[in-house]
Amino acid sequence: MADYFAHETAVIDDGCTIGSGTKIWHFSHIMPDCVIGEHCNIGQNVVVSPGVILGNNVKVQNNVSIYTGVTCDDDVFLGPSMVFTNVVNPRSAVNRRGQYSKTHVGLGASIGANATIVCGNNIGKFAFIGAGAVVVKEIPDYALVVGNPARHIGWMSEFGHRLHFDDHEIAVCPESGEKYQKLNNTVKKI
């Protein structure tokens, strides 16, 4: 007996590993050899392609496509209708299976609605990708990026608040009270 929930319209192919407490909703397709962690929520009309790995507590909103080559750490949020790619130069008449570029999404990162992540560009932990952004390069930890192409406009706390740094390059999250330090265009929690 499975210790996860799958709606009767969901399709789950052989060879998948699905953690306890996970929910898979209407018309979603989990393809062969996927690994989905515990307590994930896979929304309606989601495609999880072969070999994709999702950590624990990953939230995948409706109409998301997660293609082969993508891995997501724990606590990742994938907003409605966002999409990953896995081939840099797709052509219908050219078969590029086996040439998929990999994309890794770090712990606690959030990707907004309708964003596109061009393959081969990793997303740092707790990064925040704005709605509709098109990511065409690596995104550092805690970075806030928006637009097409995505541009770095600030930094975010682990609780999802924009960080404002003082003269000593220290910022405090207004919700958690946690402190962050900016040094050489990187941010870390202190």
Q: How far is CA 64 from the centre of its chain?
A: 10
**pLDDT classification of 1: cutoffs 50, 70, 90:** low
User: What domains does the chain contain, in order, with CATH numbers?
Assistant: 1-91+98-156 (2.160.10.10), 160-190 (no CATH)
Neighbours of 81 (CB within 10 A): 18
**pLDDT classification of 96: cutoffs 50, 70, 90:** confident
**pLDDT classification of 2: cutoffs 50, 70, 90:** confident
pLDDT tens track for 123-175: 999 999 999 999 999 999 999 999 999 999 999 999 999 999 999 999 999 99
Q: Comparing 1 with 58, which gets the higher pLDDT?
A: 58
Neighbours of 49 (CB within 10 A): 20
For range 82-105, the mean pLDDT: 90
**Rounded Cα distance, 155 and 178, in Å:** 14
Rg of the chain over Cα atoms, rounded to whole angstroms, equals 17
The pLDDT score that the predictor gives to residue 98 is 81
Containing 86, the helix (H) or strand (E) segment is: none
